[in-house]
Amino acid sequence: MELENIIDNKKLLVFDMDGTLLDSMELWRYLGRIYLKSKGKEVKDNLEEVIDCMTLEESASYFKSNYNLNEDINVIEKEIISFIENKYLNDIPLKSGVKEYLQELHKEGYKMCVLTTSEKKQAISALRRTGILDLFDKVYTDKDFTMSKTNPQIYIKVCERMNEAPQNTVVFEDALYAIESAKNANCTVIGVYDEYYKNDWNKIQSIADGTIYNF
């Protein structure tokens, strides 16, 4: 992988989790559909497109208001978390080459953290199970900053928490909207290929400072 020139002289590396470190996007793609069907709802064909950029809380709110669910938003969130938690605890694998790459970066002395929109409990469980949790200095979620990855400020806040400037930071992301936000935060960005976002790959390649198909 020819990323050495891009990350050279940078101090902080920020990694997305789902679709970047973990091969989990297929599960997330259909989670909302499976959940709503379990509630006896007829699901619209464009559900996945509509909720793609939403946080879990935003998705729960959308489900409640658009599919007439009786449960409170916090109950919907808890049910969805419970629904998927078993997969993070037991099944979801790392993407190929991730562990070895992270180990090498860790040896080289980079500060490294995770920024994910998954629940922190799920994230930590999956990172621990796959043997990479100890390679990171911190694990952050969107809820730590009460904002989503559509907002460039979330990356700026991560840099502040890690005591580094955005200009000294490299962000690894697979989603176009997150890549755009990280770029707008003045971070250097590596676009990571995931099949879930294959239709955005050409645009990702044009925006990111570098791209990678496999670690």
Token pair 């939403």: residue: 54
* Residues 6+ away with beta carbon under 8 Å from 40: none
Residue 151 contacts residue 172 (beta carbons within 8 Å): no
Using 70 as the pLDDT threshold, list the residues of the chain that sit under it.
1-2
- Its pTM surpasses 0.85: no
**Token pair for 169:** 């930071």
Q: What is the pLDDT of residues 44-61, one digit of tens each?
A: 999 998 998 888 899 999
Per-residue pLDDT, 86: 84
